[in-house]
Each structure stands twice: as structure tokens, then as C-alpha cells.
Structure 1
């Protein structure tokens, strides 16, 4: 059996570095007055110096000793079928992830470990927002080697295609792109209110605190960003304070979003986001970025979507729309109605659904119909009066959300029926008999259709049955 490997000896201290800095600050602050008085009164003798130095060294030695006990009980190993991580002094915790359940493998360099040349390997696993396994800290070379070894076990290496899928994004473009976001402009305007109004800091600061993390994330995730395509894996590199190397297998990408914020139209910039199985919401800080193109030209966006999906360029640029919002839908959506449309595009071996909306901030979404988890028909009070309905496609968690807005009611029903009748591929089930209790009973449930379309009613329909 493969032996457990050790992480770096500084790992326990770096995991709690913020706490250690806070405690050190408190101690120094509390003793600052005492030491200042001793120096002023010339009472800082050699004995006092020895006591202070001895106490500090003793405390450091104790902290380091405790950390090494924790370090000795931490290890990981890459077995034949799964990755294991073991930690714990009093009680031992062992976490494992089968290679066929791994969604992505990233190398993360948080700020403090980065100062020591250390990094962390983060393994995203299917099964929820808290299912990731973090191996660290390791030297940068070790982390890259572990990542390569895991990727080799997940899928055989393929011939690299060479070159950048997305060339390094200039720093100026990252800063200007973040600055032209409406959230950034609102935060800037709000911060200037005290100069022209009587608003106090107690009103201004709490609002800014809510916007600053979002603005910082936009800059950090596009800072010196670049992407390469190696076989069926997209490799990303980015980060200002926390440098990150991220791997996204193409088969984990479930939906693609192409959008252009209104102020970016001045420069012709676009952004491409994706829903990645296992990553969860974009607000999840621990998970990697879901923006495969943080800010770039339209040509870059088209080349990227062509590389990560079977969609040809002509269908991305000019989809053949099957359904559009009728003219009367402008009462429900006075701004976007003319841009709201849906296309079901057959491709060799599959079918893609494409939605469009947004007049000022343009948005297009693409998803393979096999990746639609549930279909929901919604009719609000205004929509009921107009005899229109919206159809929502429920996808894996992520920034891409798809809704076919304000369609003719009968066409919306036909769309729901067509998607509910689609055939899903057979689920590859391994022999799990040794792992399952003999008394375990598994059932399949389906959500009944709801025919009552009272105001605000929803209809959930189950996906097509697997063969």
C-alpha cells in the first residue's frame, strides 16, 4: 500500500497565521506601555531583557512544538483508486476521493504561504460545496507534481495543443474592466457622498464594505490571467495576492455564458463564464474562478467558446432562433423583450439550447440539453394576462442561469414537453455491492405536473428517463 506523504513543516503555523499575528499584536500592545516606561526610567536591565527574550523564545518554542505534533499526524497518499488525506491528533479524520469523482485540481498560492514559496493543492470533488480536499502546504514544485500526478490518474495525458487559448490579459485592461462595472461606479459614487452631503462615515462605510470584496474579486481573478488548452483540460493561471493555477476538464463544463456589460461596449469587451460541476456558486471563495475569459475581445470570446464546446462560430454569432417573445410581451419586459429568444440547435450527437436577453447588457447562454437537470414553467400575474410564460432551465450551480423569457404560453408548454421527453445517456454505474448495505432500498421519484396555472404558479417536470 502506498505510504502517506508529509506536508511542509510550516503548514500548521500557516493555517493559523492570521490568529498568530492577532495574538502577537495584542501581546505587544499590552506590554508596549510597560516596556516604554522601563526604557524611560532606565530600568530595562539585562535581567529584564533576559526575562522578556526568554519568555518570547519559550512561547515560540511551545507553539512550534505543538504545531509539529499536528504536522506529524497529517499526511496524504495517492492510491490506486482514490486520494486520501489524514489529519488529527486526538481524533483522526480521514477523507478520501475516488479519482472518477474528482471534478478539478487546482494549485492555490495564498498570500502568507506564497511568501515562503509554498502552495496548496485543492481537489474539487462532486458531492457538495464542502466536499473539496485541500492538500497543503507544499513547495510550489511539489504542488505542481502532485497536481500533474492527479490529472494523470483522472485522465490519460493527451497531446498538448500548444499556445495560449487566452493570452495574458494586460493589467490595464483588468483594472479598467473592473472600473467600468456598475458595482464599482456605484461604490465610487457612494464614497464621494460625504463631500457633497451630510452623510457620515457610519452610513458610507457599511455599504462600501459590502461592495469592496466583489470589486477585489473581479480584479484578483483577472490579474495577469491566461489560459491554455492541454487535450481535454483547460489550464488557468491568475491572481494578484493569491496566485492560482486551475485545471478545468472540458467534460465538467455544463453551461456557457457570453455577456457584455453595458459600459464595456465602449471598448468592445466581453466576458465568458461557465458552470463547472463541483464548483458551486461563483461567490464561493475557496473554489476557483468560473470566468474562462474575465475581460477580452469578441474574437477571443468566440475562439474560446469554439474550443470548449462543439458549437460552430456561425451559431454563436447568429443563432437560428426557434422562439421569440411576442410583441405584447413588451408590457412585461419593456426593455428586453426584443432580445428575448430561444434556439434548440441540433449538432452531431447532441442538441444545444441557446437563450438570449438584455438590450443594453447583452447576454447569451448555451447548454447541452442533456445537462438540463429540471425544467420549470412559470406564469406570473402579468404574464397570465398576456398569455405568455417563462421556462427556466435548472443547471448545476454556477454563474450561468438560463431562462427562456416571455414565450407564447402554448409554445412554452410545447418546449417543456419536448425537453421532458428527451433521452438521457445511460448512467455508468459501477459494481458497488461491497460498499452498500444489503438492506438499502433505492427508489426513483418523479415530480407530478401541475396543470393549475393560477397567478405565480410553477410547474416542475422531471427530466427524461434514462435508457
Structure 2
């Protein structure tokens, strides 16, 4: 297999002009590369579709009515063609300029992306701050064999670095190159351009039948049942009182049905063909129906984990895992599939995925402790629960609310109908806060909230005795400080002086 080569360590392409080769060796400051020429088309196909709809809608309708098209009558054909060609010329010109002014480079320490025609944008990210890398293929990109490379860096929030679009093989090779440099892995000094994708070991794959079952048992089904019940009740009352309200009720139901259909599609399309694997460069996730995504989360980048079980999923003992990853933020895109470590899985699948993000559970009986967190109550698995006096406030959940501490993580359990378990490694605890409302102060209770990076997981230990909550606050602060001193460096494969001596002691 031949590997695409960049301009090489000796200098840029002739004349310093950008090339389309993948940089496998560090670029010099004046060495740049361009994305694939049809990238603007993949990004801007909606604009072409809008033009086709605007100019073709009347003609299409006229054909079915047996009438001549309006723009082709009374000498309008020439001007309609001229306007269409002018708009297309402007659009194609914009595509070409967009491609021409978009370029990138990957050095030993940074990745840089320049883009923009009138308003120039320069993005730069340090490789040792890379939190996750995705290879995304939208439907049109799959047709042309192109992929977008998107990677998150610490504190990037809403503005992740995007590189769109590259040939799929080139995107995968560039991802391997960036992960190798981000990890600090040593390369062969005689062959610095020979960087191959790290081998992976498959962990699990979700069968299509389970995805269909999870979709049908999702919250959208509950919403659909409620809407049907409301419609049936409203119709019955309308007929009884002779209101004739069936049409009104049915029209009011349409937006709800659209939302339910969207919910079904979201669950099915993001969980379809889900596969998980582990490699030296992190956890690899692949999923998607129309748009496919290959996601890589480097080791130690997961800040918090949440395992939830919706009400209807209890029939099959299925669970979903969400994670907080530094740099993902809370955008609409990041709050969905990208923060999902497992869209639907059995309890065994959950244990496998938890082992990837928490290799050392810090307990001699990890299955028993985590099973108690998922489905237990009272003091199962060594959990400390809410005092009995809380039952007047939370008669359904007081026996579930609780926490357990291992050598490496804090587990927060909650929920009776919608079960939830949050897991926070000690070194990922950034800060904590005790919360008390008026009733909680009267009952001498407090909630302890743990702060990690922004994301869908909000670890909270609910309704603890105030003395227990204060003791947990103090002890967890000490555990977090001690764990951070022993945590891995940003470059997880980098050789550190004294590392071998430490391992021999």
C-alpha cells in the first residue's frame, strides 16, 4: 500500500504554493495544503437545490396542468436563462474562491486552518490539547468519497476546528498523524513520514433489531400515546357536546406527530450501525445511517459519565451512556450523538464501555458496585443513601438517591422511574458546591453538585444528610487533589524521564 506524502521536511512545494497532499511529516511555516476542489459543492449543495426549486417549481407545476411554463412565454426564455446562468456563475465563482482561500497545515505543535474570502479567518489549535477527532461523511460526501475532519481542543466550546473536505483515505491518514503527534508518540527518525493508523480491537456492535426496539420504546412512543389519548378524549367530548371539533383536534396534532417522527428518526439514525473499538489512540466510535461519523476520543479525555435507563427500556434492561468530553461544549450538535458513548446496550455492554473510560474501577467487585448503581436501592453495593426523613419529599426516589466512593471515582445514583448513575473520576472533579433550599435547611439536607467540563452529564448527589454531605465535600476535595497529581500528561504516549525507573520500583 502506498502512502500519500506531503512536501517533505526539506521545504514546501515549489514557489511556496499550497498542495493537496496529506502532511505526514511536520510542515514548515510557509508550507500549506488545500482541501479537495469539490469541497464547496458538498458544503453548498443546499444553495443549488434552492435555485433549482425557485426556477423549476412553476415549470414543473405547469407541465402537470398542461400549460406552457410562465418563464418560457412572451419572450421571457432568454432573460430567464440569462438570470439563471448569472446566478450559477456567481455561485460557482464563490465556490472556486472559497476553495482557493481555504488551506491548512499541520506542524509538530499546531494545526492551522485559513479560510474566508472577504472576511478572513485563521484557526490555530495546539495538538497536545486535542480532545477528540471525528471523521464525518455526509450523504453527498459519501457519494464523492470525501470526509470532513473535525477535532475539538480544550476550551474550544462552539468553535471546533473543521477541515472539509478531504478524500476519505487522506482524512483517515491525517487523523492518525494528528493523534500520533498529539500523543507524543516517538516516530522512526529514518522514516518520519511512515505514520500508520493505530490498530484497534473491536469491543461491541449494536444489532439493527435492538436499534429498532430502542426506537419504538423511546420517549417518542410515550409522547405519541399521550397525544392519541388527548385526541381521543377531545373527539369524544366534542361529539358528546356536538362541537364538531375533530378536524381542529386533528390539525393541532400534526405538529406533535412531526416532532414524534423527528424523535424516532434521531434515535434510529444515530444508533444505526453503531460500533465501538479501542486502540492506543483512544476509543473509536462509528455510527450513522445517511451521515456516517468515525469518532476518536483520546485516553483520559472523558470527564464524566452518565448511565440512564428510560422507563420503557426497563422491559429489556437496556441503558444509554452519555459523557462529558473537554472541548465539546453544549451546542445542539454536541448535545446529541457526539456525547453518546453507547446509544443502547445491555448491562454487559455498559460494563464493557465503563471499563474503557475507567480502566481501574478502584474496587474489588466492580460488577456488584456498578450494578447496584444501575438498578439497586438502599445500601446495595456500599451506597450511602438519603436519610429516612426524606421520604416525605421524595417518596419514590429516596431509597435510590445515594453515592458510593471507590479509589478512583465517585458514583452518584438517582431516579426511580428514570434511573440514572453518574460516574466522575476523582482527577476530573474541578469544583463542588453544596445546595440547600428552604425545606432542605429545615430537614437538615443538602445536595452536592460536582463540576466537570460542560456537557450533558451533571453529577449531583441528592438529598444527603447535611453532616454526610459536608464530610463528602471535604473528602472528595482531598481525593481530587491527590488524583490530579498522579494523572496522565496531555501527551499520553510521550516518554518522560524517570518513567522507567518509576515502573521498576
Q: TM-score range by the shorter chain?
A: 0.7 to 0.9
Q: Distance in 2 between matches of 1:287 and 1:268?
A: 22
Query: 2:398 — aligned with what?
Result: 337
Shift in Å, 1:306: 1.7
Shift in Å, 1:166: 1.6
Q: Does 1:175 align with 2:212?
A: yes
Shift in Å, 1:330: 0.9
Q: Distance in 2 between matches of 1:21 and 1:191?
A: 36
User: For 2:470, which of 397, 413, 426 is the aligned residue?
Assistant: 413
Q: Distance in 2 between matches of 1:20 and 1:159?
A: 37
Query: 1:21 — aligned with what?
Result: 49
The number of equivalent residue pairs is: 424
Unaligned runs of 5+ in 1: 431-467
Q: Does 1:302 align with 2:356?
A: no
- For the 8 Å contact 1:159–1:230, the answer to whether it is kept is no
- For the 8 Å contact 1:234–1:249, the answer to whether it is kept is yes
Q: Deviations over 1:270-300 (max 9, x none)?
A: 2222211111237435985222221111111
Q: 1:189 to 1:323 in 2, by over 3 A?
A: closer
Query: 1:443 — aligned with what?
Result: none
User: For 1:264, which of 303, 313, 331 is the aligned residue?
Assistant: 313
Shift in Å, 1:206: 3.7
Greater percentage in strand = 1
Shift in Å, 1:338: 0.7
Q: 1:322 to 1:332 in 2, by over 3 A?
A: same
What is the SS of the residue equivalent to 1:16? helix
Query: 1:397 — aligned with what?
Result: 454
- For the 8 Å contact 1:221–1:289, the answer to whether it is kept is no
- For the 8 Å contact 1:375–1:394, the answer to whether it is kept is yes
Shift in Å, 1:17: 1.8
Q: 1:117 to 1:50 in 2, by over 3 A?
A: farther
What is the SS of the residue equivalent to 2:399? helix
Shift in Å, 1:32: 5.4
User: For 1:231, which of 248, 260, 280 is the aligned residue?
Assistant: 280
TM-score of the superposed pair, with normalisation by structure 2: 0.75
Query: 2:203 — aligned with what?
Result: 165
Q: Distance in 2 between matches of 1:184 and 1:134?
A: 36
**How do residues 375-394 of structure 1 correspond to structure 2 at under 5 angstroms?**
375-394=432-451
Q: 1:51 to 1:33 in 2, by over 3 A?
A: farther
Q: Distance in 2 between matches of 1:54 and 1:39?
A: 23
Q: Distance in 2 between matches of 1:38 and 1:208?
A: 35
Query: 2:494 — aligned with what?
Result: none
- For the 8 Å contact 2:105–2:112, the answer to whether it is kept is yes
What is the SS of the residue equivalent to 1:250? coil
RMSD over aligned Cα, in angstroms? 3.3
- For the 8 Å contact 1:282–1:289, the answer to whether it is kept is no
- For the 8 Å contact 1:279–1:287, the answer to whether it is kept is no
Query: 1:455 — aligned with what?
Result: none
Shift in Å, 1:51: 7.1
Query: 2:424 — aligned with what?
Result: 367
TM-score of the superposed pair, with normalisation by structure 1: 0.81
- For the 8 Å contact 2:284–2:295, the answer to whether it is kept is yes
Shift in Å, 1:195: 6.0
User: For 2:101, which of 62, 73, 76 is the aligned residue?
Assistant: 73
Q: Deviations over 1:53-73 (max 9, x none)?
A: 666455434422331122111
Q: 1:288 to 1:298 in 2, by over 3 A?
A: closer
Q: Does 1:139 align with 2:164?
A: no
Q: Deviations over 1:72-114 (max 9, x none)?
A: 1111111121001011223322111110111111001123333
Shift in Å, 1:152: 1.5
Q: 1:303 to 1:49 in 2, by over 3 A?
A: same
**How do residues 30-429 of structure 1 correspond to structure 2 at under 5 angstroms?**
30=58, 40=68, 56-57=84-85, 59-155=87-183, 156=185, 162-167=200-205, 169-187=206-224, 189-190=226-227, 194=231, 197=235, 198=245, 199-200=248-249, 202-281=251-330, 283-285=332-334, 289-309=338-358, 310-311=360-361, 312-318=366-372, 320-321=381-382, 323-346=384-407, 351-422=408-479, 423=481, 425=484
What is the SS of the residue equivalent to 2:278? strand
Q: Distance in 2 between matches of 1:161 and 1:8?
A: 27
Unaligned runs of 5+ in 2: 1-27, 186-194, 236-244, 374-380, 491-505
